[in-house]
Structure 1
Amino acid sequence: MADDAPGGGSPLPNPGVGLGSVEKYPKELAWQTRPPYRVVSRDEFGEVKWKGGCHCGRVTYEVNREQPLKAKYCHCRGCQVVHGAPFQWAAIFQKSDISFINGADGLAFYASDRKTTKYELPTKVSCAYCRTPIMDEGRNMCLLFPGTIHFGDSQEEQDAWMKAFEISCHIFYSQRSLNILDGKQKWSGMDENSDLVDDYGKKV
């Protein structure tokens, strides 16, 4: 387990171990009793379709849905800065589709709009030790980063991973750091709520 915890101090307790009912769990930590942080049995979670984790291996998770509800590239400046990359690759899942093996243990949180490391939604979730970004948790959904998913060693397995998480669109393309000539749908801001633009950012 990581020595770090959100906001410093010792790691958060595991809600799946020795804490009894949800009613007995501290109110300020009640979110740990809900997906994707609540530790669940294999029978309850169902068949595992994907496994993933951080760079150092302290944080691991499983996914029980074959394909995300939607996958997209986000080009907003916030994602560029936080990820240190031209864009963020995000796959949208229901919270119940994801299960962290060790619950909240070893995770760090950052609510970017309030610049706090307290657990407040929406929040960015990463490994508290190696700092690998894992996902963004919204109020209703999780935006999981497919780059953290283990897809196997064969070309066939990699092809299946690429197909499952192929994006449907780009968002905030007006803030892009490079042109991407992939012919995918591109939105100047949020998808379905901004102007459609071409590969070069011109309104269509």
Structure 2
Amino acid sequence: MASENPSASEQWQHEPPYKIQGGDEFGAVYWTGSCQCGRVSYKLNREKPLDAKYCHCTGCQVLHGAPFQWAAIFHKSDMTFTHGHQGMDFYKSSEKKRVHDLPCKATCSYCHSPIMDEGRNVILLFPGLIKGNEKGNADVRRVFKPR
């Protein structure tokens, strides 16, 4: 019989952004996003990111196979995954381990699209995966413009 209280090593599965939240609990949805195959999808309840940036570090260049990555920063509570942590793989690059141990990177376990970099308090999402919101705002480039 499963315990009602998750162990400390599993607690992250029951906290944002992995905690599945409905409309009343989560609030207004401004943006949606998904991996390339659509198996991992999420919603955002913040209209604008806390910040947006281009990162040119070597780690990002290797991960994305490009000279830089475009990232938008959100609080973890600004996001909810449709299926919790299901369908996702995690990688802790500093230890070269496939484990959810912060900070870490999250990808779709099927198509391997990078979903986010997860820190202790914030997440870095990739605006190329984000789609317009319920209000018809599809101008991701303007709203998520790096500062």
- Greater RCO (CA < 8 Å, at least 6 residues apart): 2
Shift of residue 53 of structure 1? 0.3
- Counterpart residue identity of residue 38, structure 1: K
Aligned equivalent of 1:100, options 81, 93, 116: 81
- Counterpart residue identity of residue 163, structure 1: R
Shift of residue 27 of structure 1? 3.3
Instruction: Check if 1:52 corresponds to 2:52.
Output: no
Q: Distance in 2 between matches of 1:111 and 1:40?
A: 26
Instruction: Check if 1:165 corresponds to 2:138.
Output: no
Q: Could you tell me the TM-score, scaled by structure 1's length?
A: 0.67
Residues 84-125 of structure 1: per-residue CA shift (max 9 Å, x gap) = 111111101000000000000001111111111111100001
Q: Which residue of 2 aligns with 1:130?
A: 111
Q: Which residue of 2 aligns with 1:34?
A: 15
Q: Distance in 1 between matches of 2:3 and 2:144?
A: 38
Shift of residue 20 of structure 1? 7.7
RMSD across aligned positions (CA): 1.6
Secondary structure of 2:25's partner? helix
Percent sequence identity over aligned pairs = 52
- Counterpart residue identity of residue 161, structure 1: V
- Counterpart residue identity of residue 144, structure 2: F
Q: Distance in 2 between matches of 1:68 and 1:132?
A: 21
Q: Which residue of 1 aligns with 2:67?
A: 86
Q: Which residue of 2 aligns with 1:200?
A: none
Greater Cα radius of gyration, structure 1 or 2: 1
Q: Which residue of 2 aligns with 1:186?
A: none
- Counterpart residue identity of residue 58, structure 1: R
Higher strand fraction (1 or 2) = 2
Residues 34-73 of structure 1: per-residue CA shift (max 9 Å, x gap) = 1000111210100000000000110000000010000000
Shift of residue 163 of structure 1? 1.2
Q: Distance in 2 between matches of 1:147 and 1:20?
A: 39
What is the correspondence of 1:1-204 to structure 2 with a 5 Å cutoff?
21=4, 23=5, 25-151=6-132, 157-158=137-138, 160-168=139-147
Shift of residue 157 of structure 1? 4.5
- Count the aligned residue pairs: 144
Gaps in structure 2 of 5+ consecutive residues: none
Secondary structure of 1:58's partner? coil
- Counterpart residue identity of residue 40, structure 1: Q
Q: Could you tell me the TM-score, scaled by structure 2's length?
A: 0.92
